[in-house]
Amino acid sequence: MVLVELLELSGEHPTLPIREAIALLGSSEYSVEGRYLLGDFEHIERMKKAGMCRRVDRVIAITDESEIFGKVRELDVNGTFSVRWKGRKNLEKKVGAILAKKAKVDLEQPEHEIRILESEGNGNIYLCDKLFDVDRSSFEKRKPKFRSYSPPTSMHPRLARCIVNLAGNGEGKTLLDPFCGSGGILIEAALMRWRTIGSDIDSRAMAGCRRNLDQLGLKAELHLSDISSIDLERVDVIVTDPPYGRSSTTSGKKTKELYQTLLSMAERMADTLVAIFPYPMEMEKGELISVDPVRVHRSLTRYVHVIEF
């Protein structure tokens, strides 16, 4: 396998950033080194929409500390450049001095940002040219506290984007959230160009969801409906964060009953279900692709499930 791209993932969860990237890129050939994901990826531009990735680099050479300066001397840099070697300022300056004999330094808007990354454990050093940063600031601007309607159980946009992306590339496909609440999942899905449908039994939440979508200029088909009464024949995926009994409306139903209704509905009308449950679910039907624990606080851990039917 030729390693030509390096994804620098966020460190906010040990496994979800990797799963999100692979689901978006549709790749089965890759290598993981700590927070780095390496592979020969198609559709790399999709990573600009990831919730748990920081930046993407093109790998120029894989080497070690004894050979790095020789590799730098071999570089043919066309245009302006800057150099970044995290934690190694003295060596960063040495690399910059070598390249300055060939090209002009520009620390503000370089045409090439040469990045030197050290692996976590095997001694490899990656000589890279940065492709792009992921705009993580946009997620902060969409935090629940800035929305028109924001109940206390609202999910952070980065996690909502991640679980939407676990369902794969959504352009032109339909996503349903049958417990849409204030619309956090629908917002991220609409921004990822899914055709979005949401439903909820809580009329106040549905009104708030509509306001939140309107606030961002986004569209979704909304239904005021109990999950057992949703009038839809087929969708591509269901992505949802069902109630788990704390500050949530379940309309008198036991949560286990609610979860079984969700699983049955997903089996009947979707190819993929991405759902967050308060414990690992036992599956009678469908294929359980992954289960990842997400710690909410000291006394609460929830589990992100990806299930295919």
Is residue 166 located within the same domain as residue 258? yes
Domain final position from 133, 163, 183: 133
Is residue 179 located within the same domain as residue 273? yes
Is residue 160 located within the same domain as residue 280? yes
DSSP state of 90: H
- According to the model, what pLDDT value does residue 255 have? 85
Judge contact between 266 and 307, C-beta under 8 A. Answer: yes
Q: Is 286 left (phi over 0), alpha (psi -120 to 50) or beta?
A: left
Is residue 13 located within the same domain as residue 124? yes
In CATH, what number is assigned to the domain containing residue 218? Answer: 3.40.50.150
Judge contact between 62 and 130, C-beta under 8 A. Answer: no
Distance separating alpha carbons of residues 293 and 303, to the nearest angstrom: 4
Is residue 186 located within the same domain as residue 44? no
Is residue 100 located within the same domain as residue 204? no
Judge contact between 36 and 9, C-beta under 8 A. Answer: yes
Nearest to 191 by CA among 46, 94, 77: 46
In CATH, what number is assigned to the domain containing residue 99? Answer: 3.30.2130.30
Structural domain span for residue 211: 137-308
- According to the model, what pLDDT value does residue 248 have? 47
Is residue 124 located within the same domain as residue 156? no
Nearest to 57 by CA among 136, 138, 3: 3
Is residue 166 located within the same domain as residue 291? yes
DSSP state of 302: E
| Overall number of domains in the chain | 2
The verdict on pTM exceeding 0.85 is yes
pLDDT by position in tens, the chain (length 309): 456 899 999 989 999 999 999 999 998 789 999 899 999 998 999 999 999 999 999 999 999 989 999 999 999 999 999 999 988 999 999 999 999 999 999 999 999 999 999 987 788 999 999 999 999 999 999 999 999 999 887 899 999 999 999 999 998 899 999 999 999 999 999 999 999 999 999 999 999 999 999 999 999 999 999 999 998 999 999 999 999 865 444 555 688 899 999 999 999 999 999 999 999 998 888 999 999 999 988 788 999 999 999
The order of strands in the sheet holding 31-33 is 31-33, 36-39, 5-9, 53-63, 125-133, 112-118, 81-85
